[in-house]
Amino acid sequence: MTSQERALSSAQRGAIESAGAERNALQEAQDHLIKALGRPQPGRERRWAMKVGEELRVAREALSRYREEVEGKEGLYAELERDAPWLQARTRQLRNQLERIEQEADHLTAEIDRVIDGDAQGLSTIRNDAERMLVALRDLLAREADLIWEQFNEPAALD
């Protein structure tokens, strides 16, 4: 441990490790969704939509588990707020962003289901909408990692 790193409590370490395990599962589901989105679509639109829908459902479930973990009573956000109450505005932003990402996944699922049912109107937007959702998720995870680093590895500001 360097002079700038702080010792973590067992609750903090547990919250970080639990969130990390769920984050790994979420990133694996995200990778599978990206692969499904990149598969060829012309002439096989319904099969493509079925595969994308399957991977999106897995990613959505992983996102829900992740959200439950980080937002739980003993989760990562609670530990951050307990240790540094001034971070509540930032964790609230993360919570709100997680909620918006889940809503986007739900809307995307509905659009995919319409394509599977034979309505190809929204087919052209599925990739773009999914990629926008994935970028928002990547941004959230990066901002969360920054927050963890700042709180547990950087010395507190003395101003």
* 158: exposed, middle or buried (Cβ count in 10 Å: 0-12, 13-18, 19+): exposed
The interaxial angle of helices 88-116 and 45-71, nearest 10 deg, is 160
Model confidence at 84: pLDDT above 90: no
Domain boundaries, the chain: 10-147
* 117: exposed, middle or buried (Cβ count in 10 Å: 0-12, 13-18, 19+): exposed
pLDDT for residue 79: 87
Q: What is the pLDDT of residues 29-73, one digit of tens each?
A: 999 999 999 998 888 889 999 999 999 999 999 999 999 999 999
- 65 contacts 25 by C-beta, under 8 angstroms: yes
> For 43, left (φ over 0), alpha (ψ -120 to 50), or beta?
left
Q: Predicted confidence band at 156 (pLDDT cuts at 50, 70, 90)?
A: low
Mean pLDDT within 122-128: 87
CB atoms within 10 A of CB 10: 7
Q: 59: closest CA among 133, 139, 153, 159?
A: 133
Mean pLDDT within 146-158: 74
Amino acid identity for residue 111 in this structure: E
Which string of DSSP letters, residue by residue, matches 81-93?
A: HHH-GGGHHHHHH
